[in-house]
Amino acid sequence: MKKVLCFLFSFILITTLLYACASNSTKESVNDTTESVTTQTSEAGTSASIAESKANTSWPRTITDATGHEVILEAEPKRISMLHTYPLEYFLALGVKPTATAHFNQLGEASALSESELYSPYAKDLDMIDLGSALEINLEAVLESKPDLIVTFAGQKGIDTIYDQLVEIAPVILIDYKASWQDQLKFIAEFLGKENEVDNIVSEVEGKIADANKVIEKNPERTFAIFRTDGKSFIALGGAAYYNTFKLTKPENFPAESMSLEAVADMNPYYIVFQHNQKSASAFVESMQSSPVWNSLDAVQNNRVYYFDENMNTFGPLTMSLAAQKLTEIYNKQ
């Protein structure tokens, strides 16, 4: 009997001790879990707080433009008025739609962008106020467009004389049009708050340029002449960016000046491209249809006369992408 009682007492004692240990272990486990959750929640809250703080401090920001003016932007620009269509392709590449624009050429008019090869893919989604000619800025029209930012390029004719009046309407940023398109894109992205978009855009466009050059460099003997025209002569201006970017071969003695038809015939380029208002350029070509000199040109005889959109003279990311496409097609054709 005593042995039985002793056994029962020992069993109860051991069971009690095991329960106590298990209970303490559970409490410690719960405490550890609670502490872990609390720590993770605290860290997540801190990270969210830091992210929110960074978002809140991204504006206002100070931008130093091409002329050295320090421009304070209180918030991300929502209504942008351009005093020239020059920066439009940069805005569109970054997914930003300006509110208003002044125009330099006929296809730069807000209502005519659908006719532009460069801008027609974007025209249906654009609803811009036309500010009139970029050669003579209409201050009243700029004011009525209610901008929170005014943008154009440094050196635009007449801007210096009205700059003080413009800054009374909204902050003004002037772009360095002499910088590379990559640097201009980066600068514009900075004042639009689109910095994260730049690397992908640059990588994509440079890839297209590289692919085009692989095709072009297979035929270095093919000379490529880019012209504008005043309706009377060939003007070899405005193509430097193409020659510097693509592996195009200039005709021998190709000058940056006005040339006669006879001078072009002496060069006899393999390709002739007019980057000009197509109606004007086509009329110029039409006027030479009966000329034996014009018809003697290798490019004319072999249907190698082409037209580039006049808006492709801003040489930004959209222009370079379209040029890469067109040059690849031209060189693959013949």
Work out the mean pLDDT of the chain and round it to a whole number: 85
Residues in the chain: 334
In contact, 285 and 262? CB cutoff 8 Å = no
Q: What is the pLDDT of residues 106-148, one digit of tens each?
A: 655 666 788 899 999 998 889 999 999 999 999 999 999 999 9
Q: How many whole angstroms separate alpha carbon 181 and alpha carbon 242? A: 12
Q: How many whole angstroms separate alpha carbon 66 and alpha carbon 155? A: 10
Nearest Cα to 315, choosing from 117, 177, 215? 177
When computed from its CA atoms, the radius of gyration of the chain, rounded to whole angstroms, is: 33
More confident residue, 31 or 107: 107
Nearest Cα to 190, choosing from 221, 158, 151? 151
Contacts of 144 (CB under 8 A, 6+ apart): 129
Q: How many whole angstroms separate alpha carbon 257 and alpha carbon 234? A: 8
Give the pLDDT band (50/70/90) at residue 20.
very low
User: In the numeric block, which tokens belong to residue 127?
Assistant: 């609803």
Neighbouring C-alpha atoms within 13 Å toward the C-beta of 144: 11
Q: According to the model, what pLDDT value does residue 105 have?
A: 66
Q: What is the pLDDT of residues 259-312, one digit of tens each?
A: 999 999 999 999 999 998 888 999 999 999 999 999 999 999 999 999 999 899
What pTM does this model have? Answer: 0.81
- What are the structural domains of the chain? 61-193 (3.40.50.1980), 204-333 (3.40.50.1980)
In contact, 65 and 173? CB cutoff 8 Å = yes
Q: How many whole angstroms separate alpha carbon 201 and alpha carbon 178? A: 20
In contact, 70 and 62? CB cutoff 8 Å = yes
The CB density around residue 170, as the number of other CB atoms within 10 Å, is 20
Alpha-carbon separation of residue 206 from 122, 189, 209, 210, 323 (angstroms)? 21, 18, 5, 6, 12
Q: According to the model, what pLDDT value does residue 67 have?
A: 97
In contact, 126 and 97? CB cutoff 8 Å = yes
Contacts of 74 (CB under 8 A, 6+ apart): 59, 60
